Structure 1
Amino acid sequence: MEREKELNDQLLYIDQKMYPDKVKKTITFFEKNKLDFKLSRNKEAFSCVDAAQKRYRDGEVGIPLKDELKTYFGEYKVSKYEKHLILINLSGQDRIDFKKIRSILKISKGIRLASKETMELFNIEYGQVNPFLIHELFYNSKTFNVFGSLTVLFDKDLQIEKSTMMTNAGELSWGIEFSLVNVVYSFSEVIYDKSFIKIIEDEN
């Protein structure tokens, strides 16, 4: 706890120019859309469950798993030579219903996790994926000309979430806190149907 507090206190005095490159790109999304956010530091986290246990919020270590944003970075083929990218966002405690998503998008091909080649093109690793960073990289680099489109989906259940949410800020030991409802509509040019969509698996 003392180490986390020390790291987070340091953020008050570190010039933004000294932040890691992917962290800077992540907060660029918030700044250009005039959205509030709060950066934090944590021990390296490699999954939603792991991250939720390590996030630093309001002077405490650990947040509920429902407050950790899970982002699935995937791709699917629409023809032999064309691939589209997709970002599926939901609470860390929920699971994706891929059959439902294929129905929403009216695609017959399966959705798979972004390939090694795609990740290399974006110059990211899986623990660094967040929708803000991917958005910035997609529209501000050569990747824009490689893929047909980027679709961003947010689970409808997130719309009723009143507390802030957190996810990585582009690095394993950096977190970012935000109000999801305000953030979603900044994706208006790419979000499917410009709305929240029910995408999680129904409980049996």
Structure 2
Amino acid sequence: MFAWLRNFFSRLFGGKDQIALGIYGPPNTGKTTLANVISEEFTGEKLGNVSEIPHETREVKRKEKVTLETDGYKITMNLLDMPGISTKVDFEEFMDYGMGEEEAKVRSKEATRGVVEAINWLDNVDVVIVVLDSTKKPYNQVNVTILGNLEAKDIPIILVANKIDLAEANPEAIRETFPQYSFAKISAKEEENINELYSEIIESTK
């Protein structure tokens, strides 16, 4: 990294040599899929497991010293894949996926702890990607709660409309509902428009 750019980021983020980038959002929006795409491209390694069962990620997953390069810029970051944020975790939801009651209750407790851990990490992140499912209506209690908490802490937000590869996707609904944030529409699964997101990450750290 050029010395002037390194010094710029150091001043911007209180003397840190790298930033912490947190990936937040409700369960099953594609956060870990996106984290894996970023981690694999710049480190050659995945960050976490992906599952159709909600709350597969139940504790913060971290990949350190991920150096992102795009548009002639370079930035080093700690990449943080956060547990899905929910206002309520119901063990019966997991039973719908074939889990027994005892296993579902254990997963529910772990998921609840994960939500708390993700919220506590807000004091340690510099930039946040909020991943929303573009096949679902964007205005709901969970999304408003996530964005409200981030705004309260004055953390730069990149809003990502994921799953644009699906026929029912409507990413513009997310943009129109929350027009005040930096925005990218992607398919993490198909790795579509990922460079657009990288550009937004760089812009949010300038």
TM range (shorter): under 0.3
- TM-score, structure 1 as length reference: 0.28
Kindly indicate whether structure 1 or structure 2 has the higher relative contact order, using CA contacts under 8 Å at least 6 residues apart: 1
- TM-score, structure 2 as length reference: 0.28
